Every structure is written in C-alpha cells, then in structure tokens.
Amino acid sequence: MKKWWVIAIALVVLAGLFWFGYRLSSDSQKQNGVDKTPVVIDDEKNDSENRPEENGGNEQEEPGPDPEDEEPSEDPSPEPEETDYNKYDNKKYAWYVLRKSDHSTPGTGAGMAELVKKYGGFYLGDTSQKVVYLTFDEGYEYGYTPKILDILRDNNVKAAFFITLPYLNKNPELVERMVNEGHIVGNHTVSHPSLPEVDNQKVIDEIEGLTKAFREKTGQDMKSLRPPKGEFSERTLKISSDLGYRNVFWSSAYDDWDVNKQKGAAYAYKMVMDNIHNGNVILLHAVSKSNTEALDTIIKDLKAQGYRFGTLDEIN
C-alpha cells in the first residue's frame, strides 16, 4: 500500500513540473505585455483592394494618355494649408449640357453649375455678347495640332489647349509653339484619372505635378484646370480652388474624340454651328480629323455672323 502512495506522489510532482514549464514558456512569448507569438502571413491573400479601379465613362468620355506614357510618381506636393478635405462631399458628378435648338444658353444637370461657380469655376463666358471661346483637349498627339495652330494663327484667333504630362514631355515643341503664339495652356492633369476616385494627395499631385513640369519647361504657370472626363466633386473643386486653379467646363461639345469614328468635316461643322450661343465655351478634341478639316470654315463663318473669339482669362 505504501508503494502505491509513493507512485501517486511522484505523478503529482511530475504534473506540477510540466505545468510550471508550460507557464514559463508562455510568459516568454509575452514579455512586457507584447505578444511575441509568431504570426503566419498569408502570401496568397488577394490584393485587389489595393489596386486602382478602372476609370468609368460619361457623356464626354475620352481616351487619356497611352498607358506606356504613364509618368513615374515624384515626391508628393504639399497640401495647401491644413484643410480637412475629407469633410467635403465627394459625390461624383459628370459634366454635361442640355442643348437648345434656338441658340439660347444651354443648361446642365441640377445643381452642377451652382456648385462649380461656388468654387470659382465656369462653363460659360459673357452671355450678353456675341463672343465664343475655343478650347481643345490634348490627351495625346494624333498629328493634327500643327494644322490647328496654323489655322488659328492665320485667322488671328487665340484658344486654350488642355494638356497632360505625357503630352508635354512628348511634344515640347508644340507646347512651346502654343505659348509663343499667345494661346492659354491649361492643366488636364498628369495621367488623366477621374479625380473624385483618387485620394486628396493624389488629386494634388495630379494637378501640381503637371504645372511644375510645365513651369520648368516654359517659365509659366497654369491657372486653368479641365477635370479629366468632366468628372468632379465638391472635394475636388475645393482642393483645386485652394491650389489656385479655375475649373473650366464647356457649354457645347460632341462625340469627336474617337479617332476611329470620325464623321467628316460637314458633321463637325454642323455640330459646332448648330449649338453656338453667346458666351459659348466650345470643347473640341485635337485628335479629331473632322474638327481639323472644319475649323477654318467654322472660324470664318462665325466671324461673318458677328462673333468674336475671346480667351478664358477674360471670363470673371
């Protein structure tokens, strides 16, 4: 009987030693309250949440720069002041106009014009006068800009060209010519994203990155911004306004950006002339063969009708 008691006591002692050793090992993994237990990292986790979304389209969808032209990111531009831009509504609007057949001032979506005006932007010029404003979007060069510049020069007309960073880097001689011949060169961002779809710092970098490069090449600044695809929000209007830019939209445009669906000079002429009105900010894409072929006649006929070609910097 005494023998069994000895065995029982030995078992209890062994169990105690085992428990003590377990606690000591556990405590060594949690020194000073920090859990040092190894963590397994799942390398197969789907990283799609970190990838940018595809850019959507709208009534003025247009091709951006060639993906091969995408510029490497530089050091972030400093944010203006210390504004919490996340407090501003980021509901995305896609600009469009409501055409009128009687050459009166066109409207746009509910509340859009008022929101744009609140932050210093515009889509119309002086509606009390027969004045129009030519603007061209330049995501990339398709061979027509030299001819467009020739026509503008020969007709003594100044226009505005909204360029991207790849356009600036690939066509410095054309941009230099725009500047030297008195045209406004505006900001169409570095890489043509939908601004409401990117964060605050990215919005700043997209705008300021292009202006910085333009300043280095020309010694001039950019003051006008055309949001890619006409997409904007109150947040992006506030950021760009704080940076010193005026958002420039349009009061007439048509589907001219697809180089594979050009409908000819007569169609381009009709789309422009049928929608002319006082204070008209005309949006044309410089990749359009039809626009280029119709431009000289458009200018001459508008002048014959008593219209004057103004510049964006005249618009208050």
Residues designated catalytic? 137, 285
Which of 154, 95, 125 has its CA nearest to residue 313? 125
Which of 170, 135, 129, 174 has its CA nearest to residue 291? 135
For residue 275, the tally of other CB atoms under 10 A from its CB is 19
Q: Sort residue 75 into left (φ over 0), alpha (ψ -120 to 50) or beta.
A: beta
Query: CA-to-CA distance for 254 and 147, rounded, in angstroms?
Result: 21
Tell me how far the alpha carbon of residue 114 is from its chain's centroid.
20
Which of 211, 172, 171 has its CA nearest to residue 189? 211
Which of 288, 270, 188 has its CA nearest to residue 229? 188
- Two tokens, residue 134: 């030519």
For residue 223, the tally of other CB atoms under 10 A from its CB is 16
The answer to whether the Cα torsion of 282, 287, 290, 291 is positive or negative is positive
Q: To which H or E segment does residue 290 belong? A: helix 289-304
Structure-token match 């060169």, residue found? 185
Tell me how far the alpha carbon of residue 225 is from its chain's centroid.
9
Structure-token match 């744009």, residue found? 116
DSSP 31: G
248, β-bridge pairs: 122
Say if CB 241 and CB 261 are below 8 A apart: no
